[in-house]
Amino acid sequence: MTRLQDKVAIVTGAASGIGEAIARRLVADGAQVIVGDVQDARGQALMTELGDAASYRHCDVAREPDVRALVSHAAERFGRLDVLVNNAGIPGPGGPIQDVDADAFDVAIGVLLRSVFLGIKHAAPLMKRQGSGSIVSTASVAGMRTGFGPHVYSAAKAAVIHLTHSVAMELGESGVRVNCICPGGIATPIFGKGYGLTTEAADRSVPLMKQALSQLQPLQRAGLPEDIANAVAWLASDESSFVNGHALVVDGGLIGGRLWSEGLQRREALQAAMRSLAG
């Protein structure tokens, strides 16, 4: 496909997981992709694999100089930026609220929320001068419903969704669209990292997560990074040219409510109990 032919895109957190799938999909659709990450070895390897369509820049998304340099690289090398995907993320601290370390809170907010703000802040002037552009940030169903993630992660993702709504009202007037994706249960190494596994062990945990997540939603399979990449590619393209300020849920129906089969089992159990009383 060539629906992103001659487009220039930045993808943060693109050396692994969802970000890697997004980078691969945008290149397959014809875009020039700048990979931003702190995993230098993986980022360089991906750039080498993708060839001339990709370049890699070290970027700590919580640091403004790094994000500014990433956007400047696009402007200096290509003279434009058509797509920004704010994807970098970490699980953040878990556990009861009284056990959440304040420094860990700050780190999580830096990667999950501050990074999105910084990406939009530095991409906005360039895109506004062009009169076009698509900004897509990775939020989560955890930012829409409770119980799908740790407290800090969930709060940060909720903020990403609202920041998307708010900035879309500003940048839309300049022809720049701002949207976000809300993934459900996607089998990636981030779950393993959330349990304290090393990078290598977290990679090995993905098949286990596929199985664990397969029964979570009405569509009986785990979400895959490619599912999110497909949605991002659509939001990045002109096919979604009238979509702005939207939080696109890609979750297999997870936030729709209780599974029908679970509700049926409960109703049948209640009916049996009622019949026993009647007898």
Catalytic machinery residues: 153
Q: Cβ atoms within 10 A of the Cβ of 39, count?
A: 19
Q: Cβ atoms within 10 A of the Cβ of 28, count?
A: 15
By C-alpha distance, which of 36, 2, 61 is closest to 46? 36
Give the span between the Cα atoms of 104 and 93, in whole angstroms. Answer: 6
Give the span between the Cα atoms of 22 and 44, in whole angstroms. Answer: 16
SS3 95: coil
By C-alpha distance, which of 143, 83, 86 is closest to 116? 86
Q: Which long-range contacts (CB under 8 A, 24 or more apart) does 49-54 make?
A: 50/23, 50/24, 53/27, 54/23, 54/27
Cβ proximity of 181 and 139 under 8 Å: yes
